[in-house]
Amino acid sequence: MKTHTQVVVIGGGVVGCSVLYHLTKLGWKDVTLVERDELTSGSSWHAAGGFHTLNGDPNVAQLQSYTVDLYKELEEISGQSCSLHLTGGVMLADTPERMDFLRLAQAKGRYLGMDLELISVAEAKKMFPMLDEKHFIGALWDPIEGHLDPSGTTHAYAKAARVNGATVYRHTKVEELVQTPDGTWDVITNKGTIRAEHVVNAGGLWARECGRMVGIELPVLAMEHMYLLTDEMPEVVAHNEATGKELIGILDFGGEIYTRQEGKGMLLGTYEQNCRPWSPRQTPWDFGHELLAPDLDRIAPELEVGFEHFPALQNAGIKQIINGPFTFAPDGNPLVGPVRGLQNYWVACGVMAGFSQGGGVGLTLANWMINGDPGYDIWGMDVARYGTWATLAYTNAKVQENYRRRFRIRFPNEELPAARPHQTTPLYDRMLAQGAVMGDSWALETPLWFAPEGVEAKDVISFHRSNDFEHVGAECRAVRDSVGVTETANFAKYEITGPGAEQFLSHLMTNTMPKIGRIILTPMLNENGKLIGDFTIARTGEQKFYMWGSSQAEIYHMRWFEKHLPQDGSVTLRAINLGWVGLSIAGPNARKVLDKITGEDVSNEAFRFMDFREMDVANAPCKVNRITYTGDLGYELWMAPEYQRQVYDALMKAGEEYGIVNFGMRALLCLRLEKNFGTWFREFRPIYGPYEADLGRFVKLSKESFIGKDAAQKEFDEGPKRLRVSFMVDAGDADVMGDEPIWHGGKVIGWITSGGFGHHVNTSLAQGYVPAELARDLGDGAFEIEILGERRKATINPEPLFDPKAERMRM
Ligand SMILES: Cc1cc2nc3c(=O)[nH]c(=O)nc-3n(C[C@H](O)[C@H](O)[C@H](O)COP(=O)(O)OP(=O)(O)OC[C@H]3O[C@@H](n4cnc5c(N)ncnc54)[C@H](O)[C@@H]3O)c2cc1C
């Protein structure tokens, strides 16, 4: 056995083998996979082998498409067949809401170049004669769907990797991982120790255990999953003979069932409501090529519906029932990337659809390890999206919820209930008492909107404008007309101190650092000049800064900051987390309210726009930024949690004479649209450059250096190829949700990132990216945005509709 290698990949399932293959494909040859048993000894061998490209996150869909295209390449290099059956598949809708969902899916697919087609039930029946038409109202055809041999495919990855120079050790169990002082790893196996520069945890069913070897608890949980194989069916044989074709795959959302041809019979699987986690705390090491005991009773309700929807199945004999475990992260997407706080320890686990996603996971992880960047926008799969709050119990509740909802629609205004409330601020009960409808912002309860007295504090879930519309509208108008207060708890906050603090921040950020008592806004770029952050920074002393960013990206950003911290101890960086909570007041009367409860001079002359001040507010020590995301006159107040109630109560009392209102996250997001402000992970993501994103004014190319400067300079010199723009949309009763295609001249030329209704300016608004040359087309209705299957006229508004001269923020 080798004693040294560049990479040890732990786990010979489809994911580990894909990572191994992609490392060799991108040029690293001295790579080694270690498997405790035979390859595919976890969940890979008993998978149903289905694959598809569709995913709610277009970035993940793109990688699924890559995975499907990869199989031919693998077969060619390895000489091993994957037994690919590219049958195509149909998704069946049984309700108008599901039809809307299919329309949305088709529209999303358009700008990814996916060839999805809405078809009638009669057309679907022609492709799949076993379905009973009366249960359905429409369907979506996807030609890039099918199934393959899971074991053959995993071996094809491994063989192709070996052809490229990789080593595979079977029957070799990793028992311990020890980091050496030089940052490399001693991978201690039952056959000896290998010293490796990098370790990849692709342990599948044992990913948690391989995480515990380095002291981390990964949020993954295995669920039992069953599918049936039928005996030969005359209906299948007849279809094959009549058409010369295999039956297509079917996804029946109403029945919560998937089915496809297997041999001359059918395979039928379901994500049952009565689901069951497997080994919730500890996966047994002696679990091997085994199946779990079938439990037909558990899936009986779903099977009954399936038999009604596809009556021929009622008469089919059941040849075999497969029940096997496979893992999920709380949101059902993979966990990929480097783990914060550990050197050269990477994960590729929680992959619930290894045969749709394994290729993309392998490609992006290999890119990341070799080039320092995944090469794609994989926020949806990044392990950094979970913090320590994703405990075992949280994961257990969320994974079960996600499993049960596998075939359910997630409406844009739908909040999911499992594991809630998880984290709350001191205002939680006060907010509820005032009618707050709460949202889950990365496990923190955050007010979304407030139901007035007599109105039920509950969302009616819908793709269309819903019951919150008029109340969010009232909140927005109250802010613009007088003053409102909102809780800004879901921000990440950081403290950066030390003699090297300014230089450190200046090296990371594109903007120059502020003077003491002032604030700047700044993007952060990676080496390729793409946006990886967007921050507010205040300077409080020569060597002291505070910084605010997106709370969902806190671990993602901390991983980056820690990687770039100077080793000489000249900078201390601390994530404050919920050590501070926040309140923001905004609107033309905001100053008058603040003035009543602080002894400080907060006049426009003494406390200017973009000033920072530490001051007592309602007797509580607060840090105050004169800036708000509403684009109005306003202030952000930050304080330790023990003061939050006191400050809130004082603000409400002081604001009484001005009719102060509570406003929630939804109103805040509408208000920022009226100012053309972007948001992190919608408008600002690692696929866009700062000039494309219209953040060029915060990029100081005159600075000596910052990460990504060369690429930013290039983008500036050549001019951005596409541009973020804002639209007024001639919407009906539904505003954009994000990911809708933008049409121009009869072609799809871009995509929407987010939008909603501007209640003060009284129009539907959207933001998105279009080719730079088209961004100059200001013609009335020059664009169309496809909302729920209808192309709606849209016009670029080059200036914010609210306060284009930015006078209100400065008043
Ligand atoms: C019934 C069923 C049906 C499914 N149907 C589909 C489908 O139709 N389409 C689809 O895409 N997916 C399907 N899946 C899911 C699919 O099986 C998984 O996505 C996939 O197998 C995950 O692969 P993996 O490599 O991450 O994990 P695993 O297959 O679990 O592989 C992990 C490997 O790591 C090894 N290992 C762990 N720890 C160590 C250690 N310490 N030392 C050495 N080796 C170690 C294990 O022995 C194992 O071989 C199905 C799953 C089930 C159970």
pLDDT above 90 (res 32):
yes
Report the C-alpha gap between 249 and 251 in whole angstroms.
7
Give, using CA atoms, the residue closest to atom 10 of ligand 1. 353
Mean pLDDT value across residues 619-637: 98
The terminus-to-terminus CA distance of the chain in angstroms comes to 72
Per-position DSSP letters for 333-358, written without gaps between them: S-EEEEPTTSSSEEEEE--S-HHHHH
Task: Answer for the pair 112, 65: CB distance below 8 angstroms, yes or no.
Answer: yes
At what angle are helices 58-78 and 96-111 packed, to 10 degrees? 60
Task: Answer for the pair 759, 477: CB distance below 8 angstroms, yes or no.
Answer: yes
Instruction: Compute, in angstroms, the gap from residue 398 CA to the centroid of ligand 1.
Output: 20
pLDDT above 80 (res 127):
yes
Evaluate: CB of 47 within 6 angstroms of ligand 1. yes
Evaluate: CB of 204 within 6 angstroms of ligand 1. yes
Structure-block tokens of residue 307? 């038999």
Mean pLDDT value across residues 769-787: 97
Confidence of residue 309 (pLDDT cuts 50, 70, 90): very high
The pLDDT of residue 383:
98
In tens, the pLDDT along 346-396 reads: 999 999 999 999 999 999 999 999 999 999 999 999 999 999 999 999 999
With tokens 């923001």, the residue in question is 584
Q: Which atom of ligand 1 is nearest to the CA of 285?
A: 38
Evaluate: CB of 37 within 6 angstroms of ligand 1. yes
Confidence of residue 108 (pLDDT cuts 50, 70, 90): confident
Q: Can you give the pTM of this predicted structure?
A: 0.96
- Phi and psi, residue 513, nearest 5°: -75, 150
In tens, the pLDDT along 238-276 reads: 999 999 999 999 999 998 999 999 999 999 999 999 999
The pLDDT of residue 109:
87
Mean pLDDT value across residues 322-332: 97
Mean pLDDT value across residues 101-109: 91
In tens, the pLDDT along 547-606 reads: 999 999 999 999 999 999 999 999 999 999 999 999 999 999 999 999 999 999 999 999
Evaluate: CB of 46 within 6 angstroms of ligand 1. yes
Report the C-alpha gap between 303 and 270 in whole angstroms.
8
pLDDT above 80 (res 56):
no
Per-position DSSP letters for 13-56, written without gaps between them: SHHHHHHHHHHHHTT--SEEEE-SSSTTTTTGGG---EE----S
Confidence of residue 92 (pLDDT cuts 50, 70, 90): very high
Instruction: Compute, in angstroms, the gap from residue 12 CA to the centroid of ligand 1.
Output: 9
Instruction: Compute, in angstroms, the gap from residue 377 CA to the centroid of ligand 1.
Output: 24
Report the C-alpha gap between 420 and 445 in whole angstroms.
8
CA distances from 541 to 514, 548, 616 (A): 10, 17, 18
Report the C-alpha gap between 279 and 265 in whole angstroms.
32
Confidence of residue 62 (pLDDT cuts 50, 70, 90): confident
Evaluate: CB of 743 within 6 angstroms of ligand 1. no
Q: Which atom of ligand 1 is nearest to the CA of 17?
A: 25
- Phi and psi, residue 66, nearest 5°: -60, -45
- Phi and psi, residue 346, nearest 5°: -120, 150
pLDDT above 80 (res 630):
yes
Mean pLDDT value across residues 666-676: 98
Give, using CA atoms, the residue closest to atom 22 of ligand 1. 354
pLDDT above 90 (res 529):
yes
Evaluate: CB of 348 within 6 angstroms of ligand 1. no
What share of the chain in percent tops pLDDT 70? Answer: 100
Report the C-alpha gap between 716 and 529 in whole angstroms.
11
pLDDT above 90 (res 498):
yes
Give, using CA atoms, the residue closest to atom 35 of ligand 1. 11
Evaluate: CB of 255 within 6 angstroms of ligand 1. no
Q: Which atom of ligand 1 is nearest to the CA of 14?
A: 25
Evaluate: CB of 159 within 6 angstroms of ligand 1. no
The pLDDT of residue 189:
98
The pLDDT of residue 271:
96
Of 138, 132, 133, 101, give the one whose Cα is nearest residue 118.
138
Per-position DSSP letters for 549-610, written without gaps between them: EEGGGHHHHHHHHHHHS-TTS--EEEE-GGGSEEEEEESTTHHHHHHHT-SS--STTTS-TT
- Phi and psi, residue 416, nearest 5°: -95, 140
Report the C-alpha gap between 445 and 419 in whole angstroms.
11
Evaluate: CB of 326 within 6 angstroms of ligand 1. yes
Choose the residue to mutate in 178, 190, 206 for probing ligand 1, maximizing ligand atoms within 8 Å of C-beta: 206
CA distances from 257 to 122, 123, 124, 273, 319 (A): 20, 20, 16, 12, 18
Report the C-alpha gap between 443 and 424 in whole angstroms.
9
pLDDT above 90 (res 489):
no
Q: Which atom of ligand 1 is nearest to the CA of 16?
A: 25
The pLDDT of residue 28:
98
Of 642, 20, 534, 96, give the one whose Cα is nearest residue 104.
96
Return mean pLDDT, the chain.
96
Report the C-alpha gap between 341 and 689 in whole angstroms.
28
Per-position DSSP letters for 100-162, written without gaps between them: HHHHHHHHHHHHTT---EEE-HHHHHHH-TTS-GGG-SEEEEESS-EE--HHHHHHHHHHHHH
Of 236, 249, 206, give the one whose Cα is nearest residue 43.
206
Report the C-alpha gap between 764 and 744 in whole angstroms.
19
Q: Which atom of ligand 1 is nearest to the CA of 224?
A: 53
Instruction: Compute, in angstroms, the gap from residue 354 CA to the centroid of ligand 1.
Output: 7
Give, using CA atoms, the residue closest to atom 45 of ligand 1. 11
Evaluate: CB of 360 within 6 angstroms of ligand 1. no
Evaluate: CB of 355 within 6 angstroms of ligand 1. yes
Least confident segment among 102-111, 292-301, 796-805: 102-111
How many CB atoms within 10 Å of residue 326? 22
Mean pLDDT value across residues 456-484: 98
Task: Answer for the pair 283, 226: CB distance below 8 angstroms, yes or no.
Answer: no
